[in-house]
Structures are given as structure tokens and as C-alpha cells.
Amino acid sequence: MSRTRKIYLEESEMPRKWYNIQADMPNKMLPPLHPGTKQPLSPDDLAPLFPMELIKQEVSQEKWIEIPEEVQDVYRIWRPSPLVRARNFEKLLDAPVRIYFKNESVSPAGSHKPNTAVPQAYYNYKEGVKKIITETGAGQWGSALSFATQFFGIDLQVFMVKVSYNQKPYRKSMVNTWGGQIAPSPSTMTEAGRKVLELDPNSPGSLGIAISEAVEMAVKDPDAKYSLGSVLNHVLLHQTIIGEEAIKQFSKTNDYPDVVIGCFGGGSNFAGISFPFIRLNLCQGKKTRLVAVEPESCPKLTRGVFHYDFGDTMGMTPLLPMYTLGHNFMPPKIHAGGLRYHGAGPIVSQLLKDKLIEATAVHQLESFDAGVKFARSEGIIPAPESTHAIAQVIKEANRAREEGKNKTILFNLSGHGLVDMASYDQYFAGNLQDYSVSEKQIKDSVAELDIFPAE
Amino acid sequence: MSRTRKIYLEESEMPRKWYNIQADMPNKMLPPLHPGTKQPLSPDDLAPLFPMELIKQEVSQEKWIEIPEEVQDVYRIWRPSPLVRARNFEKLLDAPVRIYFKNESVSPAGSHKPNTAVPQAYYNYKEGVKKIITETGAGQWGSALSFATQFFGIDLQVFMVKVSYNQKPYRKSMVNTWGGQIAPSPSTMTEAGRKVLELDPNSPGSLGIAISEAVEMAVKDPDAKYSLGSVLNHVLLHQTIIGEEAIKQFSKTNDYPDVVIGCFGGGSNFAGISFPFIRLNLCQGKKTRLVAVEPESCPKLTRGVFHYDFGDTMGMTPLLPMYTLGHNFMPPKIHAGGLRYHGAGPIVSQLLKDKLIEATAVHQLESFDAGVKFARSEGIIPAPESTHAIAQVIKEANRAREEGKNKTILFNLSGHGLVDMASYDQYFAGNLQDYSVSEKQIKDSVAELDIFPAE
């Protein structure tokens, strides 16, 4: 009868501060550079895009940043999220491991993205912003931001990569239901979009094009700002509530993770689960391993270079110091759309360079196989992105069995897959494949970056 | 800071017994009749379809029935479900009401259906059943049963109404991901299906046909049983964990509901939330109103007759005493597929006849309008079925405002709408309409029932 599965926190126990890892990093990051002048960026350079409070968070060295009451109030719709002991999955793997996951799929948008969407919407609202413009690939971010903006009376325009817009109609419906507007990109609403459509009226779009459309529209509208769902420091900051909750939850058990695992796209869900545990490694001498799991088809952490690079394919964003495959790298069309990004957030990149975290890569079929195993033991159908973390959990469990060592594993279930079921269909139909990226592809793609060596 | 939203129970506080309202009903139900002999049914008549433990529960007069440990163990994947104070929705309605909902959308299948799917799978497993066969309309039930059967190593065959099978591909994907088999009905796998296809190769199918296919296949296979997701007494019994949890959760507040609301298809989610409060009305003198909300397009409770009728359109099932529109009544194609059923479960029908509960009906557009209001204030996108309960909450709030009376309202959020987003698309596109059922339609349909008057 003591087979407890879920470790809850009361709402009153929810952390009231985000953890800013910049305060504890042994080596600071290199500064972002202006895309035109190549000089270090000033806060004013970002003012057309972001509200000042987020720009301050982007560069803050304060260790703890207060979560505003109004943000906590919206967080309480689904937070604190449960920490769950995956007892059935443990049994299936039959290894000397205890497996826990943070269930971020319980948010109304079905993923961890609202953790930053809500404060971003709030800070914009506080500074009088009337409209936010963003892009979305597979749609997780666009739908989360639509969920968030409605609470603060802010209009939302989402540019969604056209091929995904057509393939994933439910994401569009979610954006609309929460009150946001959404258009397939390239669109005729911006110069950038029109330029692309002139050259190729049937362009399927790309995240790079969508970013360009969103940035252009935001810069031209004095009442509007731009918003990004990953990569940047303030985005990662907001996600740390995941790991801070997990630490409080572990303190209610006799357990503590030996290894923490998160899938990796731009870095936000991985940062959210891992940074607070890095804090305890750095400040309390804990020795938890932190493992970022990327797809083999987009291996920036395991095979990219550490370099200054643009965030978008068009070269309009600031240059960021990061592990990258080059901004022109075109990742194969794996179904974990949220992981198809050429670069890694600057903080995560610096941590990897300093060997404070590890990185690994898994193939698409292995990740779906892991996802189905998880669904059939724990009941929750994971998002294609999250299955990458689960595949790594299986590897860690296998290693523990081989080594005969006990191990406690924590991973982030960043989202459920109920809006991505078409991906599972393709998997069961045998239509999915693994993609390998050749050395030459990476070499050619990063060769374009030689102007601004980061080292 | 005391704006608590969610009232949790610890897993250790989860009720260990289902509440069997049959023990407390002032008037017992009429017995079900054999479809051939028209004589009261014996337990043996049901043995080819159900395991004996479920047949016993169907007729049990015991007030409390133990929830087996193995069932509790699976329940703990998502239960206890949160009781949530809908503070933002309250603010929007600006009425002197406190609104709470039980969030049954937190189950991995996204609805309340696993509450009975899990024990049904368990009792079949205990009696050596190797395979379960069922039908599903919109797919909520089929997917929930696939979720449940996997835990007990039982094979599953689902017959899904063909028109829904094609319109809602994600439900099929969910069934497959959890390991079940699913076929569009009418199929060539059964005589019933083949007969229909001979007459009309393009038949869109119906729940009646799907039931016939499932029953036929179950009866012919000695290792298989049949399973139903609503209407029957044992199904409603399993759902009472919802209301029993809610009572425990209210005991942690200073509040108690004046009115409890649930949408109504066959009765299972309404029974789940309301029966435990009827218990306290009957046994402790409480005076909570219980309101079942059906669609105007399928108004069996508000405009049907109390009569013996078949559960399916083909007349193969036992005759049950219920409020019904007649088993040949064809409900208009509203998007709340789970509410498109001609009859009401016998227990609920008896309670309505005895005025222990109330019934009301709302139109489709009003329900979607309510659903969008809820999504834009509370963040959760409700299933089309659940929006009917929400529409009634708004009416109760308006009445409280008019009467200047304080009121505490509880409703059951039976599921989320993330797999039904196409319905919201249709609503926003202006493609949905209200359907009115004429007196003549009902009169003609129930005229066929005159052989077995229930009164």
C-alpha cells in the first residue's frame, strides 16, 4: 500500500523565485554581438524587441529573481507539477534504478512552454505592450503563448512554419481557441514573407523565415514586441521553476537523483530541470550528472562547433556564442519538431564547454520505441521531443544493470503527445526513418561561420 | 497570497471504496428484461458478455464496494484528481458564486472514462479473459479501454463508428499506441457488419451497429468478453470515485456545493460526480441540487419517456427501464459525440423519476460559447461534452446574480478537448448550428416502444 507514485507540493510550497545560473557560473559567457556592427550588444539594442524587464533578466547576475504575484497566480492553474515515480517503467526495465519524472504535460497547453510564456506576457503587459508577435515551428510555443497572452489582454500574432501549419491543424485551433491569431509562414503580411513567396510561391517555410517575419512585424509596430520560446537567458531562467520544484519534492523522499535528463532543442526544458541541480553541485558539493539529449539528426551539442552564430537563418538576430551546426544547417524532417534547431542557448553552451553538463544524441526510431514503451507502462503518451529523454533513461538503466550499480534517475517529461498523434501513426506504419548527418555536411555548414570565432 | 486554486488529496487519502447508490435508493429499479423472452434477466444471461464480478456489481445492494488494490495502483497514475476553484471564471461571470470543478481531464486518456475502464479490465483479467471487445463513438471510450487493458495483458478490439473513425484519426492513434486494435464499423469482421455493408457499402456506421458487431464477436469467442463505457450500473458505480474524492476535498475547505452539475450522455460522468452528493442528501439531510445537462438535440431526460427500451438500435441488448427517445432515434450530428445516445442509464432514470435529480438541456452553440469562455479564463480547453456542464454553470451563476443569492457550484470537467480541436475549428468558422427536435419526431420514435410500458 505504500506504492506512492506522485509527490505533490502544495500551492503554498511553490517556489517564489527563479534561479539565475549566471550568478554561479565559473566562466561567464561571451557577450552577444550586434548583427550589424559586430560589437557587444547594449540593452538599448534589444529595446525594440523585448520589454526592459526581460532585457534586464537577460543580463542579470542576481542569483534569485522574484516571480511576480500575478505570474504565480497563473502558474497555479497547473503548478506545482507532480514529481512522479515511474514504478511500472522501472519494472519493465528490470534494472537497479529508481526513475522519477517531472510531469510538465499537465499544463493546459500540454508542455513546459507556458512556464516562460506567462511571465513574458506579464512583463509585456506591465510595460504597456498591446501585441506580441512570435513564430512557432511545430506549434508548442505558439499555442503556449496564446494560452498566456489571454490572461493579460494582449493580442497575439503567430507565424507558423507553413508545412507544420498544414500538418498539425490542432495547434492552430488551440491558438485560436485561446484568442490568438495565426498565419502560415511565409505570409504576405511582411516584406520578408513576400520576398520568399516571390521566389517560391510554394515555399514550405522554415523557422528562420518565420522568425524574420515576426521580428519585422514587431520592429515596425510601436505597440508590439517580439517573443521567443527558447535559447535566450531569460527564457531558460523562467523554466528553472521545474527543477526548483523537483528539489523540494525530492526533499520529501529519501532519494536524490544521480542523473538528470532532458531532451534538447534550444535548451529551455533541459535548463528548467537541470540548472537547479547544477546549483546544488556547485554550491553544496552534490555530484549529479546532467545529460542533454539531442536528436542524431541535429547534433549541435555532440558534433557542432562552439562559435558565434545567428539565431535565425536570415542573419537578422544578434550573434550568440553557442554550440551550433551553422545557421544554414537544414535539419532532416524528424517528428520531434521542437528539437530541430541549429544552435544551443548560450548558457547551456558555456556549461557544456566547461564540462558541467554532458550531451548525447539518439536516433528517431529509438526515441519512438522508448516513447511507446513508456506509454504502455506509465500510461502517458509522451511528446516526440520528450521521447528522446526517455530513450536516454533506458540507456542509463541498462548501464546500471551491466555495472550492477543502483542509480536514481530524474527526467523531464516536457509534454504529452496527444496533439502529435500523427507522428505515432507514421511510426507504427513503418514510415519513419533514422537520419545520419555526415561530417562533410557539418563541416560545410560551419565553414560559413569563420568570421567570428568564439575562441 | 491565499488565492489557492487546487485542492489536492494525497494518494493515501484516495477513497478505497466505490459508492453503490442502489443501497440507498428509495425506489428500486425495475429489473432488466431478456430481449427474447421479455422475462427478468438472470445473472447467467449476462455471463457470455461480462465477467461474473461485474455482473454481481450490476445487481449488488451493498452500499460500499472495495476497490481492488491492483485497480487503486493504476488509479494512482492520475488520481486523486484535483478539485479546482475556478477563480478566473468566477471573475468573468461576476456573480455571487463560488465555482469548483473536478478536473477529470488529467487522466492520460484525457477523460473520466479510465475510472471504469481500469476496473473492467482488471475483473476480466482476474477471470482469465484474454480479449475484450467494445465499440466507441467519438473514441473517448475506446482509447480509455486501450489505456486500461494494457496494464493487465488483455488484447483489445474496438469497433469505432466509421464516420468518427475518419474524422478523429488521433483517437485511433491513441488506441494503437496503447496496444489495442481498432476497426471502422461497419466492418467485414462480423456478420452484423457484413450485412450492413451488403445493403450499403458506404454506410457511415452508427453506435448501434458498432455495438452489434462488438457483442457478436464477444459472444462467439469463448476467451473474449464485451465491455460498455456507460449506462450500466457497474459502470456508474466505478465513476463514483469522482464524487467521493470531491467530498473529501470539500471537507478541507469551508465550502460545500449547493448545486452539482454534470453533462449527460449515458450517465457515467454525471453519476460519478453526483451520486456521492445524493448519498449525503439522503443520509445526512444535505440539500444539494444535482443537475444533469443534455444536448437539446438529444433530449431524453427532458423530453423522452420513461420506458423499457433496448440499449442498441438493433434490439440485441437487454431491455432496460430508462428515459429514452426510442432506440431508433437518430440524434443530429452534434460535435459532443459522447452525448449522442438515445437512452439514460436505469439508475439515473429512476432517480429522475423520483425527483432526486434535475435535468436540463442546452444547445450546441451555447455550449461551445461557454467552452471558449472557460478556455479563455481558466486556460483548460474543455471537451465538447464538458462544455454542456459549463453552459449550465453560467445559467446558475446568472440566476444567482438575479436573485442576489450566494451559491457554491461544483461541476465535472469530464475531459479536455485537445483531441477534438476540429470541433472548435468548426465553431469558429461558423459551421456549427443548433438542432431542434420536434415533438412529432419524439412521438414517432417512442411510439415503437408501446409493447413494454415501464409504468
**Single residue among A217, A233, A249 that ends a domain in this structure:** A233
Total structural domains within chain A: 2
Instruction: Determine, for residues B173 and A422 on separate chains, whether the beta-carbon distance falls below 8 Å.
Output: yes
Convert the pLDDT of each residue in A237-289 to its tens digit: 999 999 999 999 999 999 999 999 999 999 999 999 999 999 999 999 999 99
Residue B314 confidence (pLDDT): 76
pLDDT band at A388 (very low <50, low <70, confident <90, very high): very high
A376 and A388: one domain? yes
Minimum Cα–Cα distance from A375: chain B residue: B178
Question: Could you say which of B12, B106, B176 has the minimum Cβ distance to residue A428?
Answer: B176
DSSP A318: P
B267 and B137: one domain? no
B315 and B210: one domain? no
User: A207 exposed, middle or buried (CB, 10 Å; 0-12, 13-18, 19+)?
Assistant: buried
Q: Is residue B393 part of a domain?
A: yes
Instruction: Determine, for residues B424 and A177 on separate chains, whether the beta-carbon distance falls below 8 Å.
Output: yes
ipTM of the complex: 0.95
Residue that wins the pLDDT comparison between B327 and A108:
A108
Instruction: Determine, for residues A378 and B77 on separate chains, whether the beta-carbon distance falls below 8 Å.
Output: yes
A286 and A378: one domain? yes
Q: Is residue B85 part of a domain?
A: yes
Q: Can you tell me the distance from the alpha carbon of A328 to that of A309, in angstroms, rounded to the nearest whole number?
A: 10
Question: Could you say which of B76, B77, B418 has the minimum Cβ distance to residue A418?
Answer: B418
Q: Is residue A1 part of a domain?
A: no
Question: Could you say which of A77, A177, A372 has the minimum Cβ distance to residue B372?
Answer: A177
C-alpha distances in angstroms, B449 versus A43, A51, B266, B304, B320? 77, 68, 19, 12, 12
Residue A182 touches chain B, beta carbons under 8 Å? no
Q: For residue A423, give the CATH number of its domain.
A: 3.40.50.1100
Q: Can you tell me the distance from the alpha carbon of B119 to that of B75, in angstroms, rounded to the nearest whole number?
A: 9
CA of A401 vs chain B CAs: smallest distance (Å)? 24
A403 and A305: one domain? yes
Instruction: Determine, for residues A76 and B4 on separate chains, whether the beta-carbon distance falls below 8 Å.
Output: yes
Residue A426 touches chain B, beta carbons under 8 Å? no
Q: 3-class SS at A360? A: strand
Among B116, B111, B157, CA closest to B134: B157
Mean pLDDT confidence for A82-96: 97
Residue B451 confidence (pLDDT): 67
Q: How many CA atoms lie within 13 A of A444 on its CB side?
A: 8
Q: Can you tell me the distance from the alpha carbon of A144 to that of A149, in angstroms, rounded to the nearest whole number?
A: 9
Residue B312 confidence (pLDDT): 83
Q: Is residue A248 part of a domain?
A: yes
State the count of interchain CB pairs (< 8 A) between A and B.
125
Mean pLDDT confidence for A157-167: 92
Residue A2 confidence (pLDDT): 54
Point out which residues pair with A122 in neighbouring strands: none
**Single residue among B203, B233, B263 that ends a domain in this structure:** B233
Q: Is residue B61 part of a domain?
A: yes
Provide Rg for chain B, Cα atoms: 21
Instruction: Return the H-helix or E-strand segment holding A91.
Output: helix A87-93
pLDDT mean across residues, chain A: 95
Instruction: Determine, for residues A418 and B372 on separate chains, whether the beta-carbon distance falls below 8 Å.
Output: no
Among B69, B81, B155, B418, which would you mutate to test the A interface (most chain A Cβ atoms within 10 Å of its Cβ)? B418
pLDDT band at A61 (very low <50, low <70, confident <90, very high): very high
Residues of chain B in contact with residue A379, where contact means CB-CB under 8 angstroms, are 74, 77-78, 108, 147, 151, 178
Q: Can you tell me the distance from the alpha carbon of B322 to that of B345, in angstroms, rounded to the nearest whole number?
A: 6
pLDDT band at A314 (very low <50, low <70, confident <90, very high): confident
Minimum Cα–Cα distance from B170: chain A residue: A421
Residue A114 confidence (pLDDT): 98
Convert the pLDDT of each residue in A200-210 to its tens digit: 999 888 888 89
User: B180 exposed, middle or buried (CB, 10 Å; 0-12, 13-18, 19+)?
Assistant: buried
Among A305, A275, A308, CA closest to A290: A275
A293 and A317: one domain? yes
Minimum Cα–Cα distance from B76: chain A residue: A5
Residue A3 touches chain B, beta carbons under 8 Å? yes
List A residues 265-324 in contact with B (Cβ-Cβ < 8 A): none
**Single residue among A233, A255, A271 that ends a domain in this structure:** A233
Q: Is residue B32 part of a domain?
A: no
B171 and B295: one domain? no
Q: Can you tell me the distance from the alpha carbon of B420 to that of B384, in angstroms, rounded to the nearest whole number?
A: 8
B428 and B280: one domain? yes
Mean pLDDT confidence for A405-410: 97
Minimum Cα–Cα distance from B69: chain A residue: A1
B326 and B300: one domain? yes
In this structure, what C-alpha cell is assigned to residue B271?
Answer: 453519476
Q: Is residue B21 part of a domain?
A: no
Residue A1 confidence (pLDDT): 40
Residues of chain A in contact with residue B108, where contact means CB-CB under 8 angstroms, are 378-381, 416
In this structure, what C-alpha cell is assigned to residue A261?
Answer: 535528463
Instruction: Determine, for residues A428 and B376 on separate chains, whether the beta-carbon distance falls below 8 Å.
Output: no
Q: 3-class SS at A289? A: strand
Q: Which domain holds residue A394?
A: 7-15+78-110+239-447
Region for B156 from its dihedrals, namely left if φ exceeds 0, alpha if ψ lies in -120 to 50, beta otherwise: beta
Residue B334 confidence (pLDDT): 84
A272 and A348: one domain? yes
Among B421, B424, B428, B432, which would you mutate to test the A interface (most chain A Cβ atoms within 10 Å of its Cβ)? B421
A247 and A333: one domain? yes
A208 and A121: one domain? yes
Q: Can you tell me the distance from the alpha carbon of B325 to that of B299, in angstroms, rounded to the nearest whole number?
A: 8
What is the SS3 assignment for chain B? Answer: CCCCCEECCCHHHCCCEEECHHHCCCCCCCCCECCCCCCECCHHHHCCCCCHHHHHHHHCCCCEEECCHHHHHHHCCCCCCCEEECHHHHHHHCCCEEEEEEEHHHCCCCECCHHHHHHHHHHHHHCCCCEEEEEECCCHHHHHHHHHHHHHCCEEEEEEEHHHHHHCHHHHHHHHHCCCEEEEECCCCCHHHHHHHHHCCCCCCCHHHHHHHHHHHHHHCCCEEECCCCCCHHHHHHHCHHHHHHHHHHCCCCCCCCEEEEECCCCHHHHHHHHHHHHHHHHHCCCCEEEEEEECCCCHHHHCEEEEEECCCCCCCCEEEEEECCCCCCCCCCCCHHHCCCECCHHHHHHHHCCCCEEEEECHHHHHHHHHHHHHHHCCCECHHHHHHHHHHHHHHHHHHHHCCCEEEEEEECEECCCCHHHHHHHHCCCCCCCCCCHHHHHHHHHCCCCCCCC
User: Tens-digit pLDDT profile for chain B (455 aa)?
Assistant: 458 899 999 999 999 999 999 999 999 999 999 988 999 999 899 999 999 999 999 999 999 999 999 999 999 999 999 999 999 999 999 999 999 999 999 999 999 999 999 999 999 999 999 999 999 988 999 999 999 999 999 999 999 999 889 888 999 999 999 999 999 999 999 999 999 999 999 988 888 889 989 999 999 999 999 999 999 999 999 999 999 999 999 999 999 999 999 999 999 999 999 999 999 999 999 999 999 999 999 999 999 999 999 988 778 889 999 999 998 888 888 888 889 889 999 999 999 999 999 999 999 999 999 999 999 999 999 999 999 999 999 999 999 999 999 999 999 999 999 999 999 999 999 999 999 999 999 999 998 886 666 65
pLDDT band at A451 (very low <50, low <70, confident <90, very high): low
C-alpha distances in angstroms, B358 versus B240, B262, B288, B349, B401? 18, 11, 11, 11, 21
Q: Is residue B441 part of a domain?
A: yes
Question: Could you say which of A5, A169, A380 has the minimum Cβ distance to residue B108?
Answer: A380
Residue B375 touches chain A, beta carbons under 8 Å? yes
